[in-house]
Structure 1
Amino acid sequence: MPWADLLKSGCRIFIGSNAAVPNALVADLIDHSRGLHDIEVTHILTLSDNVWAEPRYRDLFKVNSLFIGGEKVRDAIAEGRADYTPCFLSEIPQLFREQVLPLDAALVMVGPPDEFGYCSLGVSVDVVSAAVRFARRVVAQVNPRMPRTSGHSFVHVQQIDAWLEQAQELPEIQPPELDQVTEQIGQYVSLLVDNGATLQLGIGKIPDAVLRYLGNHRNLGVHSEMISDGIIDLMQSGVINNRRKTFHRGKAVTTFCMGTRRLYDFVDGNPHVEFYPAEHANSPTRIARNDKMVSINGAIEVDLTGQVVSDSIGRKFYSGIGGQVDFIRGAALSRGGKPVIALPSTTRDGQHSRIVTTITPGGGVVTSRGHVHYIVTEYGIASLHGKSIRERALELIRIAHPRFRRELLEQVRKFYWVPEYQELAPTSVPELGPVESKRFAFDGIRYTLRPLRPADERLLQEFFYTHNKETLLMRYNHHVTQMSREKSCSLVSVDQRRDLALCFTDRQGQAEVIQGVGRYYYIAADNSCEVAFVIKESRRGKGIATTLLEEMEGIARSRGIDRMVACVRRDNHPMLAVFENRGFQAIPGEDLDEVTLALDLGGEKPA
């Protein structure tokens, strides 16, 4: 059928998505476009040369991109030759169905029909499925190289008005080389993934790094907008088996895939991977039907209140909303779900922080401060859900690049989010390992050992007010009745490079609760440190105190400290036993109420 019988000037066409762009169809349309003008081209991400966005075709095509991809489209939008229409991926089909963006034709790529007359949309079902259903005409490039994918990916030949048989190799995206920063981010994000979780991952360095650190996990599932090569080995090894999913159990669910030919061959005829339209797979309410849903997405910058900029660099539109909010919201609604935003702490040249006090003028907030739960950089995990603006600022400063922390604290103070008494920018304890935390289990309960942080002010207050009078007397040697905000702030605002403040926490639902605190104060005069700790009454006798002391002792030794000292009430027999069991010796003294104990470490004074 001639193009003149399918299209007319001023109509709107849809071009297939991602790795399924019907380039031969587009080229044929251009070659036979005489008499056609001002055709609006709408699409999402397209892995293609995007020839229709070139200036030479400005009289033939006008681009209206629903997700920006490729420099030609990006430049056309920046120059005003093209438009960008922001929209959640899950709602794009509604634009077609409700005639907000009525489609005169959908140009798509399919595989050859089977004996029943059904072609497969293959590697890109996403919004292509809706375009096929709601467009007035469907024109297909039949490509024998297109994988035949499972799920809701089929189009009957009777739905196709015209077609062109043309083989075309699918574009390939090679797995990226991972750098140290990306590896560290991946390791941190992997700590948020529990066994039995269901994952949503994008493409690029960070998702690949996350997958690399999931090899020791068990019974993971996939419900994702897209999948890439990274899932293949985990599915073949059984780490991803989808057995614990509570929605589409036993199946990895996606809307499209992009990667190498290995991935395309992997999904070809694979009944364990199912492709669904975006309005189904990206529906937040359906995503939330997966328990322990973990959504992992990227960002361009994040401000200190938690606003996430993802589709523009200042006023220059760069990508789009896509499915980020769909999955962030779905994971937040999931039982045990975790919405995660992951990004490097600085720009590529290292000159600018991507954790910012205020968003770059013109920057677009894709994920609001109300949606965000976790922000991850190579410096750690910031938990923002349920946190005040002040607590969020402190958490985010902690995971910013150390070079920018002091500046961020000074800037944010101008807006009164951080009070005067908060003086120190967060510091780290590298001796706890690359993720600055350790996991332990006592009496069947899982704990995390980590540094106390400035944002722990309220958690420490809550911990204090769980103590009975006896505990307060034993720890402070007098009847303390109040832990003020200022006092709590001073106790969590520690220069961890000199002194040390650690805590044991566990999870009660989604809330983190402090169950034990240990600290030492460095005494420069004799290169020693004074150590003390307190454990919640209900968690004593489990080994928490002994482990805290062991860890602090190890850090003190690694820092070259000569001696650890502790002052303990004589009637605090359990505490005395903990120290004595670690080899502390009592030092003779005149104080009848307290015993001073010491442990020689044989360190060398730090330079």
Structure 2
Amino acid sequence: MSRWAAEYQSKLVSAEKAVSVVKDGDWIQYSFAANTVPVLDAAFAKRIHDLHDIVIVNGISTRPHAVYKADPSGEHSIWKSTHMTGLDRLYAKTRTVQYAPLRYSEALRYVRENCPPNILMIQVAPMDKHGFFNMGPTITHFRAAADVADIIIVEVNEDMPYAHGGYGNNIHISEVTYIVEGGHTGMPQIPEEETTDVYQKIAEFILEELRDGDCLQLGIGGMPNALGKMIAQSDLKDLGIHTEMLCDSMVDMVEMGRVTGRKKQIDPGRIVYTFAVGSQKLYDFIDNNPMCAGYPADYTNDRSIASRNNNMVSINNVIEMDLTGQVCSESKGTRMISGAGGQLDFVDNAYNSKGGRSYLCLSSTYTDSNGKVHSRIKPVLTLGAVVTVPRPLVHYVATEYGMVNLKGQPMWKRAEKLISIAHPDFRDELIQEAKDLNIL
């Protein structure tokens, strides 16, 4: 038996034994995106009633959590989300879900300096012959958490893809406190958001602007995904990818021969990302694929690194904008919907790249629960809405009615341009409100 195999056996315990180390007041770095801990979660749920003031740090929930079901009112634990999904919003109906404002490029520093966890519970691929556990599709901030946590518990998933990396994508057994074998627990399957006519139209505007050799970042949501599918069917060539999230449509782009990465100035020939979430097709693509390079978020999202790639193109979704160009992509008023993530990072990264462009996209309207239609372009942001991207950083903005460039424009011109791509039914009203606000 090798040294590492012997150490593996000495640290192998039941899930119940592993979670027994949790004590009152502990901060636990729990799960993020595709890396969930279903076996540890079930065991932890059984003893949550014996604990108090537990802080559970999670982001981009992709599977229901047993520990929430066991403590739905939050009497024993605090749910802290770094990026909310529909599951987190569901949890918020019965308990407080705290959102931690985040600039994703700084996430590892937050973990190391401002909110270090007592315990890291992380799902990993089976240990290799050198004693390393691979983090699979989720690198993000886990390396920082491993550096500062007092206790590291790994849950081994036999179905997790082995993901090549740049760095920071492995944990060595010498760092690990306990190992729990989860068996074959699969990977969370996240269906692609349905492409609508509105998404299709917006994507068409952006597709016209793309050039051979562009280096792409696509954000979360239906519109970027729609664009990715259109790119796959286009005649573009030698595209690169340097992104935070790797998604299914990017696999389509590679398989159709659109992505080679040959024109990239950094990590040429490689697809750079910090987490991947989607269907089994995506996880199979990542598995032992040397074209893919998973890095921590302070590499993927850092301006000094990402903007070294020429022709960086960033494409992200927006919830609403005001007539001066302030962007809200996180909340509906005071109600948190998602999170800042890396949108601010990549808006900045793309513009600071030679030949780079940033595109912020939104449907012109939305319909509320009472069936009333509202404009997403507003005179002022909804009361309590969060500014995700400040107006000086905004470059291109697109709706299904067109695309405008706000860089360097005075207030009246910004308002004029944004009104021109608002829904026609709201333009006269927006003009009058802009005059009332002394913008026009």
Please tell me the residue identity of whatever aligns with 2:173.
V
Task: Specify which of 57, 62, 73 is matched with residue 78 of structure 2.
Answer: 62
Partner of 2:7: none
SS at structure 2 position matched to 1:29: helix
Partner of 2:282: 263
Identity %: 33
Paired residues for 1:456-495 under 5 Å? none
Task: Specify which of 164, 188, 191 is matched with residue 174 of structure 1.
Answer: 191
Task: Specify which of 205, 215, 219 is matched with residue 188 of structure 1.
Answer: 205
Tell me how far apart the structure 2 counterparts of residues 25 and 92 of structure 1 sit (CA, whole Å).
Answer: 24
Tell me how far apart the structure 2 counterparts of residues 181 and 399 of structure 1 sit (CA, whole Å).
Answer: 13
Tell me how far apart the structure 2 counterparts of residues 386 and 350 of structure 1 sit (CA, whole Å).
Answer: 35
Please tell me the residue identity of whatever aligns with 2:382.
T
Task: Out of 52-61 and 244-253, give the one that drifted further.
Answer: 52-61
Tell me how far apart the structure 1 counterparts of residues 340 and 273 of structure 2 sit (CA, whole Å).
Answer: 18
Task: Specify which of 378, 382, 386 is matched with residue 356 of structure 1.
Answer: 378
1:144 aligns with 2:161: no
Tell me how far apart the structure 2 counterparts of residues 189 and 69 of structure 1 sit (CA, whole Å).
Answer: 26
SS at structure 2 position matched to 1:270: coil
Please tell me the residue identity of whatever aligns with 1:282.
N
Q: Residue by residue, what CA displacement relative to the aligned partner does 1:94-148 show, whole Å, maximum 9, x if unpaired?
A: 11211x1121001110000111111110011112222222211111110010000
SS at structure 2 position matched to 1:141: strand
CA contact (8 A) 1:127 1:278 kept: yes
CA contact (8 A) 1:17 1:45 kept: yes
Tell me how far apart the structure 1 counterparts of residues 394 and 93 of structure 2 sit (CA, whole Å).
Answer: 29
Please tell me the residue identity of whatever aligns with 2:240.
G
Cα distance, 1:80 vs structure 2 = 6.1
Tell me how far apart the structure 2 counterparts of residues 53 and 328 of structure 1 sit (CA, whole Å).
Answer: 35
Tell me how far apart the structure 1 counterparts of residues 67 and 405 of structure 2 sit (CA, whole Å).
Answer: 44
CA contact (8 A) 1:65 1:85 kept: yes
Paired residues for 1:262-411 under 5 Å? 262-348=281-367, 351-411=373-433
Q: 1:262 to 1:4 in 2, by over 3 A?
A: closer
CA contact (8 A) 2:314 2:358 kept: yes
SS at structure 1 position matched to 2:346: helix
CA contact (8 A) 1:17 1:128 kept: no
Please tell me the residue identity of whatever aligns with 2:227.
V
Tell me how far apart the structure 1 counterparts of residues 321 and 66 of structure 2 sit (CA, whole Å).
Answer: 34
SS at structure 2 position matched to 1:370: helix
Task: Specify which of 108, 111, 117 is matched with residue 122 of structure 2.
Answer: 108
Q: Residue by residue, what CA displacement relative to the aligned partner does 1:452-487 show, whole Å, maximum 9, x if unpaired?
A: xxxxxxxxxxxxxxxxxxxxxxxxxxxxxxxxxxxx
Tell me how far apart the structure 1 counterparts of residues 148 and 359 of structure 2 sit (CA, whole Å).
Answer: 34
Partner of 1:208: 225
SS at structure 2 position matched to 1:168: coil
Partner of 1:425: none
Cα distance, 1:79 vs structure 2 = 6.3
SS at structure 2 position matched to 1:150: coil
Q: 1:114 to 1:378 in 2, by over 3 A?
A: same
Cα distance, 1:85 vs structure 2 = 1.4
Tell me how far apart the structure 2 counterparts of residues 81 and 234 of structure 1 sit (CA, whole Å).
Answer: 40
TM-score (norm 2): 0.91
Q: Which has the larger radius of gyration?
A: 1
SS at structure 2 position matched to 1:259: coil
Q: Residue by residue, what CA displacement relative to the aligned partner does 1:161-207 show, whole Å, maximum 9, x if unpaired?
A: 11211121111122233221111011112123221110000233211
Task: Specify which of 128, 131, 156 is matched with residue 142 of structure 2.
Answer: 128
Task: Specify which of 160, 165, 175 is matched with residue 159 of structure 1.
Answer: 175
SS at structure 1 position matched to 2:120: strand
CA contact (8 A) 1:187 1:209 kept: no
Tell me how far apart the structure 1 counterparts of residues 265 and 333 of structure 2 sit (CA, whole Å).
Answer: 40
Partner of 1:22: 37
CA contact (8 A) 2:41 2:65 kept: no
SS at structure 2 position matched to 1:367: coil
Please tell me the residue identity of whatever aligns with 2:268.
R
SS at structure 2 position matched to 1:13: strand
CA contact (8 A) 1:113 1:119 kept: yes
Cα distance, 1:5 vs structure 2 = 5.5
Tell me how far apart the structure 2 counterparts of residues 34 and 386 of structure 1 sit (CA, whole Å).
Answer: 56
Please tell me the residue identity of whatever aligns with 1:94.
R
Paired residues for 1:481-520 under 5 Å? none
Cα distance, 1:221 vs structure 2 = 0.4
Partner of 1:244: 263
SS at structure 2 position matched to 1:208: helix
Q: 1:285 to 1:274 in 2, by over 3 A?
A: same
SS at structure 2 position matched to 1:16: strand
Partner of 2:435: 413
Paired residues for 1:437-448 under 5 Å? none
Q: Residue by residue, what CA displacement relative to the aligned partner does 1:343-391 show, whole Å, maximum 9, x if unpaired?
A: 1111146700101111000000010001100111111111101111111
Partner of 2:252: 233
Partner of 1:538: none
SS at structure 1 position matched to 2:374: coil
Q: Residue by residue, what CA displacement relative to the aligned partner does 1:367-425 show, whole Å, maximum 9, x if unpaired?
A: 0001100111111111101111111111111111111111111110112222xxxxxxx
Tell me how far apart the structure 1 counterparts of residues 41 and 95 of structure 2 sit (CA, whole Å).
Answer: 22
Task: Specify which of 83, 90, 93 is matched with residue 108 of structure 2.
Answer: 93
Please tell me the residue identity of whatever aligns with 2:106.
E
Partner of 1:598: none
Tell me how far apart the structure 2 counterparts of residues 94 and 312 of structure 1 sit (CA, whole Å).
Answer: 25
SS at structure 1 position matched to 2:393: coil
Tell me how far apart the structure 2 counterparts of residues 109 and 177 of structure 1 sit (CA, whole Å).
Answer: 29
CA contact (8 A) 1:6 1:105 kept: no
SS at structure 1 position matched to 2:24: coil
Task: Out of 357-366 and 229-238, give the one that drifted further.
Answer: 229-238
Cα distance, 1:3 vs structure 2 = 4.3
Tell me how far apart the structure 2 counterparts of residues 311 and 211 of structure 1 sit (CA, whole Å).
Answer: 22
Partner of 1:448: none
1:118 aligns with 2:132: yes
SS at structure 2 position matched to 1:290: coil
Tell me how far apart the structure 2 counterparts of residues 377 and 310 of structure 1 sit (CA, whole Å).
Answer: 15
Please tell me the residue identity of whatever aligns with 1:212.
K
SS at structure 2 position matched to 1:360: coil
Tell me how far apart the structure 2 counterparts of residues 62 and 145 of structure 1 sit (CA, whole Å).
Answer: 30
Tell me how far apart the structure 2 counterparts of residues 4 and 206 of structure 1 sit (CA, whole Å).
Answer: 41
Partner of 1:515: none
Structure 2: runs of 5 or more not aligned: 1-12
Cα distance, 1:33 vs structure 2 = 4.3
SS at structure 2 position matched to 1:10: coil
Cα distance, 1:91 vs structure 2 = 1.2
Aligned residues: 416
Cα distance, 1:212 vs structure 2 = 2.6
Q: 1:203 to 1:352 in 2, by over 3 A?
A: same
CA contact (8 A) 1:78 1:317 kept: no
Tell me how far apart the structure 2 counterparts of residues 231 and 159 of structure 1 sit (CA, whole Å).
Answer: 34
Task: Give the superposed CA RMSD.
Answer: 1.7
Partner of 2:97: 82
Tell me how far apart the structure 2 counterparts of residues 284 and 377 of structure 1 sit (CA, whole Å).
Answer: 27
Partner of 2:9: none
CA contact (8 A) 2:412 2:439 kept: yes
SS at structure 2 position matched to 1:6: coil
